[in-house]
Structure 1
Amino acid sequence: MKKAFDFMKLRYAAMVFSGLLLLASIGSLAVQGLNFGLDFTGGTLLEVQYDKVQPVDQISTALQAAGYKDVTVQTFGSETDILVRMSESFRDNLGNEVLAVLQGAATADNKLTLLRSEFVGANVGEELRDQGGLALLLALAVVMIYVAARFQLKFSVGAVMALFHDVLITLGLFSIFQWEFDLTVLAALLAVIGYSLNDTIVVADRIRENFRTMRRSDPIEIMNDALNQTLDRTLMTSFTTVLVLLALLFVGGELIHNFAMALTVGIVIGTYSSIYVAASLLLLMKLTREDLMPPEVEEEIDDRP
């Protein structure tokens, strides 16, 4: 049975919903900002190895009780390899101090070894943050050029605005809930751009074909038909991807937790924007059949005698 969901009937409600999410995101980013991790703010990273498994929460509690600030503890590789991040300024004996604190919190037969001790400077963090922002903007610019060349300028504007919508709301949620923003999250945002673009192009391709074939239908009917034709593919792709990401989110460990969180949020928002944001913007820009018809090629008349 052919599906006939009237997506465009709810386009104004979707615009209000998106507008509220964008306002909340921009407001939180302006007031609270992002909770940048040590990759951006600078700090100390230490890797220690236990002989036996030591609970991560006990390690974190011991370090915080010793006066260390902004401590993040996570397993690294195996359950006995522990990665410690803190905002403490680096000094020569810091590794030995942390080792003594952790040894005091562990049992006598659970020895541990300091494998490495590194410092990430604030200047390096600022450079990473600036380059990451430029990478996002460059990705959006390349997308706009590609979609304009493949489809039409109105499709390009709609696709880029949908991607901007997805990235900004994902950043806003990280700001609202103060989830840690590190380099893995930045990588996830770039992946979200690619994933959301793929969905948007599938829908745009169907819209273009429908405009050329459904000559007696109005734009709203054409949009609805295109969205219904691609709905199964969009939902199934998103559903299977989110299932994998949820597995990474809950059992993948702290090292990729933020990455999985950013991708999960981005794909859910991206699926919504592929259905509503891009198509609604095309209607606002008054896309017509003439915009999508291939240019007629004039035949040259041979007037030689």
Structure 2
Amino acid sequence: MFLYSLTRWRYIGLIASLLLVLTSLFSIYHYGLIMSIDFTGGTIIDIQMPTLLTISELQSMIQSPLKDSLIIQQGSEEGLWQLIIPINGTMIDPHQLISIVSQQLALPITLLQASVVGPQVGEELFNQGGLALLAASISIMAYLALRFEWRLSLAAIASLIHDTILTFGLLAFLEIKIDLNVVAGLLAVIGYSLNDSIVIADRLRDILKAKPNSNIYLNTDLAIRATFARTLVTAGTTIFIIGCLLVMGGDALYGFSMTMFAGVLTGTWSSVTIASTIQELLGLSPEHYQPKLDLIDDMP
């Protein structure tokens, strides 16, 4: 198994990935996943407030009785902000709330709109988001099983689980709230995570068909080497764009950008260390891609 240098590094990477999964599970258990108001419910008030202060500076100026319940977030445009009160926070009339916040911050505030997300709506959004992730995973697994081979399908799903756990572990460690933008990022990560795995698997299938008597580990190494330049260019350009969005997108897109950034990195890594190695451990061989010939007895 370890006769080839790339094979050796792939299996070392598999061990490293398992350690990262355990670390991420500990991070999720220790820090916990912080659910946003999209899932927990509460009140969102959109306001216009002219200020150059940062969110941390504004948050530190909030005093009782709103100090422990009010959350200030930056809006999609300059000068637009959001005041968020969780469902278990102190519920105050929006006009009264703006009056109190305006006095504490010593800034003029204009009410734009106020919306309430009930706990039942938040629970429904959470359930629908989970079902969307599950449906996407099952559909992809069925497609891969029909398009390639069931061993690749299981290996790709294992790669998806690896990427999802690592992404959630990073979100928990950084204390990033899970909102609908993060769920959208996770759905995009699922598609991207399979991108390199399918490209490598397609190349591996061609090699196995052309070399039915060769070693499976050597063939996998050849497939990875043949697609490495394409993987490097695709991942590099994608990470560059997401990095720009992460730096310049602001707080409104921070959760989505970080989810995509972590997902692209782990997806590229797992295509080599998880998907390409697990299908070997499941017994993939050149015989599985050889055409099956039906023997027809000659009629007398």
Q: TM-score, normalised by structure 1?
A: 0.89
Alpha-carbon contact 1:36-1:181 (below 8 Å) kept: yes
Answering whether residue 238 of structure 2 is matched by residue 241 of structure 1, we say yes
Task: After superposition, give the CA deviation of every residue in 1:81-137 in whole Å (9 maximum; x if it has no partner).
Answer: 112223265888531233123322455xx6321011112122221221122112211
- 1:86/1:75 Cα in 2 relative to 1: closer, same or farther (>3 Å)? same
2-structure distance, mates of 1:230, 1:15? 19
Match of 1:278 among 275, 278, 282: 275
Q: What residue is the counterpart of 2:292 in the other structure?
A: 295
Alpha-carbon contact 1:90-1:119 (below 8 Å) kept: no
Answering whether residue 193 of structure 2 is matched by residue 196 of structure 1, we say yes
2-structure distance, mates of 1:298, 1:69? 77
Answering whether residue 150 of structure 2 is matched by residue 153 of structure 1, we say yes
- 1:55/1:66 Cα in 2 relative to 1: closer, same or farther (>3 Å)? farther
Q: Which moved more, 1:219-228 or 1:93-102?
A: 93-102
Deviation at 1:172, TM superposition (A): 1.9
Q: CA RMSD in A?
A: 2.3
Structure 2 residue runs without a partner (length 5+): none
1-structure distance, mates of 2:109, 2:31? 38
2-structure distance, mates of 1:257, 1:191? 15
Q: What residue is the counterpart of 1:122 in the other structure?
A: 119
Identity across aligned pairs (percent)? 33
Deviation at 1:249, TM superposition (A): 0.9
Alpha-carbon contact 2:211-2:286 (below 8 Å) kept: no
Answering whether residue 250 of structure 2 is matched by residue 253 of structure 1, we say yes
Deviation at 1:188, TM superposition (A): 0.6
3-state SS of paired residue (1:35) = coil
Q: What residue is the counterpart of 2:168 in the other structure?
A: 171
Alpha-carbon contact 2:178-2:255 (below 8 Å) kept: yes
1-structure distance, mates of 2:190, 2:270? 12
2-structure distance, mates of 1:260, 1:70? 26
2-structure distance, mates of 1:167, 1:97? 42
- 1:72/1:90 Cα in 2 relative to 1: closer, same or farther (>3 Å)? closer
Alpha-carbon contact 1:62-1:102 (below 8 Å) kept: no
Question: Within 5 Å, which residues of 2 pair with 1:216-235?
Answer: 216-235=213-232
Q: Which amino acid aligns with 2:257?
A: A
Question: Within 5 Å, which residues of 2 pair with 1:18-33?
Answer: 18-33=17-32
Match of 2:51 among 50, 53, 71: 53
2-structure distance, mates of 1:78, 1:251? 13
- 1:116/1:141 Cα in 2 relative to 1: closer, same or farther (>3 Å)? same
3-state SS of paired residue (2:62) = helix
3-state SS of paired residue (2:78) = strand
Answering whether residue 19 of structure 2 is matched by residue 7 of structure 1, we say no
Q: TM-score, normalised by structure 2?
A: 0.90
Alpha-carbon contact 1:41-1:125 (below 8 Å) kept: yes
